[in-house]
Amino acid sequence: MTADAPETRFSISNNPSYLYQAYFSYILEYKNGTQADGFFDLELLKKSLNILVRKHYKPVAGWFQARNNSIDVVYYSDKFNDPPVTTQTLDMDYDTLSRHVHDCNVELLVPAAPSAAITFEDPDPNIPMIMLKVTYLESNEAVVLGVTYHHSLMDGTAFWMFMANWSALCKHLHEHGEIAEFDIPHPPTFEFPDISHFYNPSKTFEHPEYILVNPNQFSKRLQPGPEKIVEKILEISVEQQQALRQQARDIGVSFTEILCAVLWKGVNSLRLELNPEIGSESSLYTCTVNSRTRAGVSNNVCASPVTIASREQTVAEIAALEVCDIAQLAHKAIGKCTGEYLSSSYRYLHQQFKQEQDDRCNGRIGKKVMCVFANSASVKCVIATSRTFPIYSTDFGFGTPEYVRPPYWPYDGSMRIWPTPLYDARSSNAPLHVYVCQPEHIDLSLSPLLAQFIKRNID
């Protein structure tokens, strides 16, 4: 590189997101209620996106590079890998398009992505960090944004901060035209905080949230299996949320913990009733935990320290416990995610990552570390919560989204807590959704705990 085109490297090898070498996609639906001309002008979208990336998110305009057992994002001052943008215009009415969004039709609405695997065989793989697909209607009734990002660079918090910054910049350009300076609402940073000071060699932890598998067969472990996995949406009303919050306060746990307990017990008891032989087998609960407070990290840090809380019991044990008792188990699991546990979790991942690279270099098969979806527990309650993200604040200058569709993960036990358009995590002023994935033969309406929340199916 020349002096006027310096190379900058950003290491992601110390960020456990490398475990998720996959693209995550979200679909944002915007309704053009006034039939305004220039609704989501394409050139404005592309211009604001490129300005944001080139000025504030340079790693997004870079390239993955894997070498010397390390994974970096490399970018240059005179060369940019601008996010690819594709478009389409469909001849269909708004209601039909909206059904495609709700049914998570990624083939229609999300940009086609290459393999997300960061390989060491290619010295400079060109894997886009973020891709965009804009869908217009000939009737001009609505626009849909399909956004895909590589999880190894950003976690969910970082992505939605990116989206909030992009939409704010686009709105400003739409309302005011060219600008010399613009203060984006969230300071962008990709630095992963140093948590080495939490390491305590005198303490050891088990990490059932991860599993080691044969790398030649790990993709099969992530397949749904012979049974079709279907998704059901549970809707927690305002009144139901208030009742759960009161119940949580009475026993000293959080709202998320009591909700997790309801979900865990509901699915667990139903699975046991349908198959009594699994009573002595494993029932595994996990929940993604953002450990900013424990690590002393600012809320403005995008690459936040996230770990996975876990608790493993037998199926019969969970079925026999009351919801309040299970909430206490969830509370203890999340409480276990101290700085020392966080450090232990990352050391485990880093050591396994190094072992995988050593096996690769020496021609050994070895083992590959995988997330909880590959676990063989008979019952899994794998929860991710997104209810505090600024999802419905993404106003590009044309109003906020009618609906934002989370990723569809067709894995047994996957559950995502997701806000509705008017939801405010601080006040629970609107319904809250939970997307639950189970084998097709599991009828959640047969669970007394879950039946009250069921709204509709998505096949």
Using CB atoms within 10 Å of the CB of residue 317, give its burial: 0 to 12 exposed, 13 to 18 middle, 19+ buried: middle
pLDDT at position 52: 92
Say if CB 235 and CB 455 are below 8 A apart: yes
Dump pLDDT digits (tens) for 68-79: 667 778 888 778
pLDDT at position 6: 79
| Banded model confidence at residue 4, pLDDT cuts 50, 70, 90 | very low
Rounded distance between C-alpha atoms, residue 216 and residue 416, angstroms: 29
More confident of the two residues 293 and 132: 132
Q: In terms of Cα–Cα distance, which of 141, 7, 140 is closest to 77? A: 7
Rounded distance between C-alpha atoms, residue 407 and residue 225, angstroms: 19
pLDDT at position 428: 73
pLDDT at position 118: 72
* 252: region left, alpha or beta (phi > 0 left; psi from -120 to 50 alpha): left
pLDDT at position 238: 94
Tokens of 400: 């906020």
Whether pLDDT at 377 is above 70: yes
Buried b (16+ CB within 10 A) or exposed e, 16-55: bbbbebebbbbbbbbbbeeeeeebbbeebbbebbebbbee
- Mean pLDDT score across all residues of the chain: 84
| Banded model confidence at residue 122, pLDDT cuts 50, 70, 90 | low
- Report pTM: 0.89
Say whether 287 sits in a helix, a strand or coil.
Answer: strand
Averaged pLDDT, 207-213: 77
Whether pLDDT at 299 is above 90: no
Rounded distance between C-alpha atoms, residue 452 and residue 25, angstroms: 29
Rounded distance between C-alpha atoms, residue 381 and residue 28, angstroms: 27
Looking at the chain, the whole-number percentage of residues with pLDDT higher than 70 is 84
Rounded distance between C-alpha atoms, residue 344 and residue 194, angstroms: 13
**Which H/E stretch holds residue 282?**
strand 282-290
pLDDT at position 102: 94
More confident of the two residues 360 and 73: 73
CA angle at residue 453 from 320 to 377, to 5 degrees?
45
Q: Where are the beta strands (DSSP E) in 155-208?
A: none
Averaged pLDDT, 210-228: 63
Other CB atoms within 10 Å distance of the CB of residue 206: 9
pLDDT at position 216: 65
Whether pLDDT at 341 is above 90: no
CA distances from 299 to 187, 188, 246, 324 (A): 10, 11, 27, 30
Rounded distance between C-alpha atoms, residue 157 and residue 290, angstroms: 9
Whether pLDDT at 418 is above 70: yes
Whether pLDDT at 314 is above 90: yes
pLDDT at position 242: 94
Whether pLDDT at 448 is above 80: yes
Lowest mean pLDDT among 274-283, 368-377, 407-416: 368-377
